[in-house]
Structure 1
Amino acid sequence: MLTVAPGPLRPWFTPERPGPLVFEHVARTGHGRVRVDRWPDPRVVVAELPGNLSLRGDPEHLPSPDLAELTGFVDAPPEWLPALRASDPGTAPWDRLIAVLPADAPTPEPDPDVRLLTSDDAPALAGLSTDSAWIAETWGGVAGMLAAGVARGVLVDGKIAAIAVPFYLGGTYEDIGVVTEPDHRRKGLSSACAGALIGDIRARGHVPTWSTSPDNLGSRGVAARLGFVHERDDVLFALRTPIPTS
């Protein structure tokens, strides 16, 4: 597989729609990579971020050794499932709910405890729990996320309590990821951080979106309180990776 500049491959991933914008995030942030089976005239395109992938094209042209190296949650058309299961018989679908914040939904009032995080906050995030560490995956880790200046958070006693970040940054949509550390849950911090991020996303001229699983009642509750509206049901394929439990 060849790593290539993503720009010319955008038609493979258009039109942009709410949800897992792996390709757009790679193209717009420089994190991750895009690979093809050949250049020019590719027959298969793989957009990759840590733990998150988008596959397009004909699965027959993705070499088995390259497929065997892929791990994570896969956004791909249904015809990819046989190839994924041939590589990993344990590949399983992960049902997803995709929601969008309507234009007429109010932007939440700013919470004074929520602020934009910067690289100066790195020590406060040094102890981020294993359960929460995924929040920075698509930005190359905590340092990359903080350097990008896109994360909103709450600190308590000098340590991070909750974070919201555009997990996927697109040209039209930004999909929100949010975590609250275990000792600070059920205090409204996820809603406060995500609400602040909504203001940032709209200021960039983008539309906030929300992705979660049907059994994640906590996440669904936060989305509902903020005004998100169900847009569609979706599915990711869990390739060599366990499906999270709520």
Structure 2
Amino acid sequence: MPAARPPGGVTVRRLNARDARALTTLPPAMSWIHRTWGGPEALARSGHAWAAFQGDRIVAVACTYFLGTTYEDVACVTVPDPRLQYLALDCVDALCADMAARGHTPSWTCSTSNRPGRLLAWTAGFRPEREYAHYAVGAPAATGRAAAG
């Protein structure tokens, strides 16, 4: 069960423009979190992201990944150390409250093989609506890697 408050030394709050640098210090494998916003500066300024800070270091962040007219899809990353401290859940809860205040419905999309993501979604109150197969072809535009053959 999540704690009523984050542990000592941790603050959960909405990101602002001054937090862009903290986003750039996330491990490289987590940089996808700000990609659809056009980078860390744009996400930090967006008003659509909440993070858990341990000092000046971001240890969890949840943001709107895709913004529609009715739905906002949630994305979340957590650095491995504090995963059991429920900090991602605190960020997701705050983000979903913002979405509801904007009159939008939070949604959650993740792979069926993403057990941690599915468990976090469930704990945050999301329930499966449908499962689907996702197909793609070609090289990813951002990396230029060749498609698997």
- With normalisation by structure 1, the TM-score equals 0.51
Q: What is the aligned residue count?
A: 135
Of 173, 196, 209, 2:71 maps to 173
Matched, 1:164 2:80: no
Q: 1:149 to 1:215 in 2, by over 3 A?
A: same
Aligned residue for 2:65, secondary structure, equals strand
Of 26, 29, 35, 1:128 maps to 26
Give the corresponding residue for 1:206.
Answer: 104
Give the corresponding residue for 2:14.
Answer: 116
Aligned residue for 2:69, secondary structure, equals coil
Structure 2 counterparts to residues 175-194 of structure 1, below 5 A: 175-194=73-92
Q: Which amino acid aligns with 1:205?
A: G
Give the corresponding residue for 2:125.
Answer: 227
Instruction: Note the alpha carbon deviations across 1:37-66, whole angstroms, 9 max, x for none.
Output: xxxxxxxxxxxxxxxxxxxxxxxxxxxxxx
> For structure 2, which runs of at least 5 residues remain unmatched after alignment?
none
Give the corresponding residue for 1:139.
Answer: 37
Aligned residue for 1:183, secondary structure, equals coil
Equivalent residues of 2:3, 2:86 under 8 A apart:
no
Shift of 1:134: 0.4
Aligned residue for 1:234, secondary structure, equals coil
Equivalent residues of 1:135, 1:167 under 8 A apart:
yes
Aligned residue for 1:215, secondary structure, equals coil
Of 50, 54, 57, 1:152 maps to 50
Equivalent residues of 1:164, 1:178 under 8 A apart:
yes
2:39 & 2:55 partners in 1: Cα distance? 23
Instruction: Note the alpha carbon deviations across 1:108-144, whole angstroms, 9 max, x for none.
Output: 9985631000011123223111111000011001111
CA-based RMSD of the aligned residues comes to 2.1
Equivalent residues of 2:76, 2:88 under 8 A apart:
yes
Shift of 1:149: 1.5
- With normalisation by structure 2, the TM-score equals 0.82
Q: 1:200 to 1:111 in 2, by over 3 A?
A: farther
Equivalent residues of 2:64, 2:75 under 8 A apart:
yes
Share of identical aligned residues, percent? 39
In proportion to residue count, which structure has more strand? Answer: 1
Aligned residue for 2:29, secondary structure, equals coil
> For structure 1, which runs of at least 5 residues remain unmatched after alignment?
1-107
Equivalent residues of 1:178, 1:190 under 8 A apart:
yes
1:130 & 1:139 partners in 2: Cα distance? 16
Of 93, 105, 114, 1:195 maps to 93
Equivalent residues of 1:110, 1:195 under 8 A apart:
no
Aligned residue for 1:236, secondary structure, equals coil
Q: Which amino acid aligns with 1:122?
A: A
Shift of 1:238: 3.5
Aligned residue for 2:85, secondary structure, equals coil
1:110 & 1:117 partners in 2: Cα distance? 21
Equivalent residues of 2:70, 2:105 under 8 A apart:
yes
Q: Which amino acid aligns with 1:133?
A: S
Give the corresponding residue for 1:217.
Answer: 115
